[in-house]
Structure 1
Amino acid sequence: MTDHQDTVGPACAEEDEVHRAPADLRPEIPHPARMYDYYLGGKDNFPADREAAEKVLALSPLVRISALANRAFLGRAVRHLAEQGVRDFVDVGTGIPTAGNTHQIAQEVHPDARVAYLDNDPIVLVHGRALLAAASQGSATVVQADLRDPDAVLATPEVRRLLDAGRPVGLLLFAVLHFVDDEDDPHAIVRRLVDALPPGSHLALSHATGDFTAPEAAAKGPAIYRAASAQLTMRTRQEVLGFFDGLELAEPGLVTAPLWRPDRDPAPTDAEVAIWAGVGRKP
């Protein structure tokens, strides 16, 4: 599942024009990645995306707050891992790039940091190739692969290159597992990926939850996403905690995204932002 690839950075700049097949962006159909971009205040979205996103926001205004909190968590988590010495990152389900991408944050700490971005969606890949800033001394690759097929993820040459180095890897699953149905066994998928990581690697993830959502919104929100060609499965804190089985959770454990090592004073509502977030280390 690596028929599309792009690489930015001095080592592979000559490949920048390779495999750029056109993709149908289907602007008339709401798309979850573009809806997320809208929540974040981005401009890579169409009227259909904005209309669907506004329907979600009408059910729960905290959705935009949760999206912003998730993006801020990404920045703090990646910086934390880089400061722990991690130089290699596998970012699965990356979504449309926006300010503060993984490679930008990691390379502020380690200019030679390497990041493999993976997504199964051609729309996301088109945006990624257009918007990813060039890496400085490290590298960033964009690869097509599906999280629901972890063996295919692990078999991509870009991921293999990072794993074969034998150094700790940061596996990043930010706001992607709630798009994996229960029937696809997301816990087994995460175990397969973590098992392939070298010792000392880390898993950082965030996941939507209905733990703090009114029953009406918890029922209607996923239906809007189904109309936008995506299945949304919100999970409880206990279910999300299961993704960290066998790992050493970093302090403060599994908490709502704004409360994971905040860089500002928490707001009263932060404890009920509908995103669970955590980082675990593989012994």
Structure 2
Amino acid sequence: MTGIWQPRTITTEEFVKPGPTAALAALFDDQLPTPQVGDALPPLWHWAALAHWPVSSDLGTEGHTIRDGNSFLPPVDLPRRMFAGGSAEFLGALRVGDTVRRVARVESVTEKQGRSGRLVVVVVSIELYAPDGTLAVVEKQTIIYREAGVPTERAPDVESAAVVAPEGPPLQRHGPDSWRLWTDPTLLMRFSSATANPHRIHYDWPYATRVERYPGLVVHGPLMTLAAAEVHRLSKDPRPIAALSHRNCAPLFCGTTAELRPTPTAAGTTIAVLSHERLGSPETIHTRLDLTLA
């Protein structure tokens, strides 16, 4: 890491915005009602409803906010950033149109040596308080910074993502017990916009493939997680989500069809996002969402 940096707590008043909430509902296009002003947000939809864009002068080469000694996140000098997972407890409701208090802090910064080289693991904790002052959401997010990858051979379906057209709703039922997740560049662009995510790996093909050396555009980890949570809503299970944990295990590339497969557990449900990225290849788990149901 570079620069002189100390972790600090940031407390802000945030507006639960109807616009990005409606944008996320339009993106999923799954016939579920769009949350209106006064309605409770579905679990994790605060990733869109509370998102805000950084000013242009604060952006670095990759699209994220510049990390220096004055930034909230540590000044890690590694080019790849991945939202690796996290957890959340839902103790109360966040409602569209509310003004809520957000308390964020960096809990830990850990440098490690992994199979692909040096990496830094950053854990951020977030608390969201309802207008009456009660604690509504307790969340932890894990962010991993890694070294740039080496060029990889592109799978044919990944290459085709450059010209592929949208195929309607991204979530479609695939048999009685699973769903299909289809991504295209337009979907990734719309999700980046709804969640105020300027990271170039999700929309800039030359940057993603030539600078960060991915084989194609990268599907957002939060998009896979939210899609898995949406499968629970689509299942019509009346039990609300009391808590969840999620882990992004492997990148999914735009144009690769993924399956979302729910499995009942003692606590609730596990929903895996998985694919066969190449014909005949072993099954790859991209995201795992574990739900604790009330």
Q: Normalising to structure 2: TM-score of the pair?
A: 0.26
Higher share of residues assigned helix: 1
| Highest RCO, 1 vs 2 (Cα 8 Å, sep ≥ 6) | 1
Q: Which has the larger radius of gyration?
A: 2
Higher share of residues assigned strand: 2
